[in-house]
Amino acid sequence: MSTIKITDQFGLDVDVKTDILSSLEKYASNLSKLSLTNLNLQSIADLTLEKPSITSLHAGLNFDQPVDIGSGGVTLQVDAGLKGTMDIYVPPTGGGSLFQQDLYGETIPVAAAERYVSIGIGATAGPDIGATVNQLTLGFKVGVAVTLTNYRKFTTLPTAPTILDAVKTTVAGFSIPGGRDDLGAMPDDAIVTLEGEGTVTFSAKANLLTAANPLATLTLPSPLPALDVSAGGSVTVGASCSLDWDYQLRIRKLDAGHVSLGFYRKQGSETTVTVTTSAGLSAGTSGTDLFSSVISEISPSAAADPNAIKALGLPDDELKAIAAAVNSGAQRKLELSLLASLTASDSHSAAFLYEFDLAALDAAGNAALAAALHGDLSGLTGDALPAGVQMVRSIATDLQKTSMTWKVNLLGIYNYISTTELTRQGTVLFEPATGDLVITDKATALHITAASINFGADTGKLRHLLADSFLITAAYRGSKSVVSAPEITSSHSYFELQASTSPSDMLTDLTAATALGLLDAGAPATLVAGIGNFGKTMVYAETSYGDTVAPALFLNGADPKPQGEFESAGRQAIRLLVRPDAADAFRLRGVDDQLWPQMRAAGQFNFVPLFPGLPAPELGAIISDYTLIVWWAGAMSACAKNVAAMNSLIAANPDPESPQFLKLRAELAKTLASVTSNTRDEFGQPWGLVAMDTVSGSRAAARVQIAGARFAFARSRPEVTAAIAASASE
């Protein structure tokens, strides 16, 4: 039995006896003295915790010598000096909450008659923090700061203890969670927290909702083959995952035989997620190849058979490249989903929370509990939990409940018989920002392949190509040159991976959501409040058009939309995306409806008199916006005339393979070739997506997803069908 002396600067000098089986006896035997600072405990030692004069108190703790915490190795090192705290929490009348201002999430209610005395120790993770030979191992990195805190609950009913007795009891029963026996020795309602930077590992399965994005090239075969593409389905992927993060392990004794373990992310801190799926052609579940599973979900004629891909007769190196690209895409999707679950702006719950019935644990349960205490949750994230363990929440389980959209961009699919044929004659890549897949012909693949990423696409080049391909597809769909099943849509998307995202950058990213009607105008400022830097962030925005909505991009009924309507939509897109409080708010002057006719009459080289006193760089930006809008409106107007002519012919002669129709289709292809050869980069940016959405009457399905190291956001809206639009206008 050890003795720990407690003193203060005002004459207090008392001894605290620890039990021979206590945590301090087991793990910190050289702790012999604690000195209180900034608190005269001597003067209030005999007062009880129920006295009205006693409110929440705080004191520092001095250690007279270094303390090594561990068993069989140094797990935590406490230097001599002011390295700890002692607090007494007294709730307000009516009750309060422990951890009310906590950075780690959920609070714990405290009744009016309850008090908590806490002892916190600041330490450094020692060299044996994760050593398997050490009985006390924790999931923190060597050398990082770790805070170990005990919270002991007392009640003032029927009789309140004295302050000194409460402090002595808390010190004597200080718990260091090394295993089941230590957790079992904790008193009821006691709480132990460990905070620091470390790694938590676990296994997971995810449902990935495959979604085909069929995109046409300028030339279409004649006659058109039936498109062997479906809307998609779901594939399940298993993976090993790890989180590198600032986290809190919170242990709470629920009653005499039950404890809870919760893992909480530090709010506002940066989290890195690493996911590894099985490599090779056996990456899927149930013995099937993952790529075969994906293809079978987006192609009605394909079977989920791992031998089907091999049957294409591709060389082994191409098969390996396909497997690597698909696995890399799946890994990126899982990483983004886990990040979104952890860093969502409204997420304050535990990432993992389990309850243990200590008496019911078998060998597997004991092993899983011991592993969990040092950050390995693989024994608690499988299909079946050990006896005595109940899962309350797990982001690993959330992956199976919430399907993520895994887009498969089929570039030029209308020129091939099937997705498998496009695969056989083409190349499979993954987009590194989003994890989405790209299947395209080999020539196009050479243009968009990233030099620095194995089996990955260059984000900028792919974004530009997809925007061009969407415009081509939308025009063909609007002209009934291609007709798909009602559930098949083609998507216009913007995506970017930002290495470092400032609050201003994040406001700009969220403004895309307001422009698409997914957020109120004032919401972005509220969402970003209090975060100084958002770190690495993936931004994705998408609108999807089917055969019933695509014509609204070009036509008013049967008539082509005039250029003025496109110019109005282009100006509106600028107004929606440029914030009045942003540094580029001057751009709003250039899209004023009253000034626009004068700008059109003068031409962009004669704007100086229209914007007196405007600095040259700002005038240059307005000229750039003007040129963009006029280019886009002219291009869309030309396409609209072709689309209207083709629809008119179809109405008179419903044969899409007639010589007259094929001639008009060739003219449309010529117009589109001219447009896409001069496409400006802004069309692949949020402006192009919002301008197209605006001119269509915002009828397309839309979604915005932001997933980053410190923040996540996701909103969507459904497609507005003609019937819904007609009902809304009545």
pLDDT digits (tens, 9 = 90+) for 109-150: 999 999 999 999 999 999 988 887 678 889 999 999 999 999
Residue that the structure tokens 């997803």 belong to: 705
Q: Looking at the DSSP assignment, which residues form a beta bridge with residue 114?
A: 155
pLDDT at 281: 34
Taking residues 326-355, report their average pLDDT.
Answer: 87
Decide: 129 and 69 in contact? Cβ < 8 Å. no
Taking residues 187-198, report their average pLDDT.
Answer: 96
18-27, 261-270, 367-376, 635-644: least confident range: 18-27
Residue type, 21: L
SS3 category, 692: helix
Q: Looking at the DSSP assignment, which residues form a beta bridge with residue 354?
A: 261, 391
pLDDT band with cut points at 50, 70 and 90 for residue 529? confident
Give me Rg for the CA atoms of the chain. Answer: 32
SS3 category, 130: coil
3-state helix, strand, coil in the chain (%, to 5): 35, 30, 35
Mind listing the pLDDT tens digit for each residue in 239-253?
A: 899 999 999 999 999
Taking residues 342-358, report their average pLDDT.
Answer: 85
pLDDT band with cut points at 50, 70 and 90 for residue 1? low
pLDDT at 709: 87
pLDDT at 279: 42
Burial state string for 601-629 with b = 16 or more CB within 10 A and e = fewer than 16: eeebeebeebbeebeeeebebbbebbebb
What CA–CA distance (Å, rounded) separates 17 from 559? 91
pLDDT at 721: 64
SS3 category, 646: helix
Hey, what long-range contacts does 618-622 have (CB within 8 A, 24 or more apart)?
A: 618/586, 621/584, 621/586, 621/587, 621/590, 622/586, 622/587, 622/589, 622/590
pLDDT at 99: 85
Question: What whole-number percentage of the chain has pLDDT above 90?
Answer: 71
Decide: 543 and 690 in contact? Cβ < 8 Å. no
pLDDT band with cut points at 50, 70 and 90 for residue 727? very low
The pTM (predicted TM-score) of the whole model is 0.89
Taking residues 569-573, report their average pLDDT.
Answer: 98
pLDDT at 176: 95
Burial state string for 571-598 with b = 16 or more CB within 10 A and e = fewer than 16: bbbbbbbbbeeeeeebbbebbeeeebee
Question: What whole-number percentage of the chain has pLDDT above 70?
Answer: 95
Q: Looking at the DSSP assignment, which residues form a beta bridge with residue 100?
A: none
pLDDT surpassing 60 at residue 17: yes
Angle subtended at Cα 696 by Cα 691 and Cα 701, rounded to the nearest 5 degrees: 95
Taking residues 602-630, report their average pLDDT.
Answer: 95
21-35, 277-291, 593-607: least confident range: 277-291
Decide: 672 and 639 in contact? Cβ < 8 Å. yes
What CA–CA distance (Å, rounded) separates 388 from 360? 5
DSSP of 573-639: HHHHHS-TTSTTGGGGGGG-TTTHHHHHHH-GGG-GGGSTT--HHHHHHHHHHHHHHHHHHHHHHHH
Mind listing the pLDDT tens digit for each residue in 48-82?
A: 999 988 889 999 999 999 999 998 888 999 999 99
pLDDT surpassing 70 at residue 371: yes
What CA–CA distance (Å, rounded) separates 474 from 44? 78
Mind listing the pLDDT tens digit for each residue in 262-293?
A: 999 998 888 999 999 864 333 333 333 788 88
pLDDT at 278: 62
pLDDT at 79: 96
196-205, 336-345, 363-372, 526-535: least confident range: 336-345
Domain boundaries, the chain: 3-176, 198-442, 458-729
Q: Which of 291, 266, 135 lies closest to 208, judged by CA?
A: 291
pLDDT band with cut points at 50, 70 and 90 for residue 431? very high
pLDDT at 730: 38
pLDDT band with cut points at 50, 70 and 90 for residue 403? low
Q: Other C-beta atoms within 10 Å of 402: how many? A: 15
pLDDT surpassing 60 at residue 11: yes
Taking residues 424-438, report their average pLDDT.
Answer: 96
Mind listing the pLDDT tens digit for each residue in 206-229?
A: 888 999 999 999 988 888 878 889
Taking residues 562-567, report their average pLDDT.
Answer: 98
Decide: 91 and 153 in contact? Cβ < 8 Å. no
pLDDT surpassing 80 at residue 348: no
Taking residues 193-205, report their average pLDDT.
Answer: 94
Taking residues 708-724, report their average pLDDT.
Answer: 81
Burial zone of 726 (CB within 10 Å; 0-12 exposed, 13-18 middle, 19+ buried): exposed
Q: Other C-beta atoms within 10 Å of 486: how many? A: 11
Tokens of 130: 């994760």
> Mean pLDDT for the chain?
90
Taking residues 601-618, report their average pLDDT.
Answer: 95
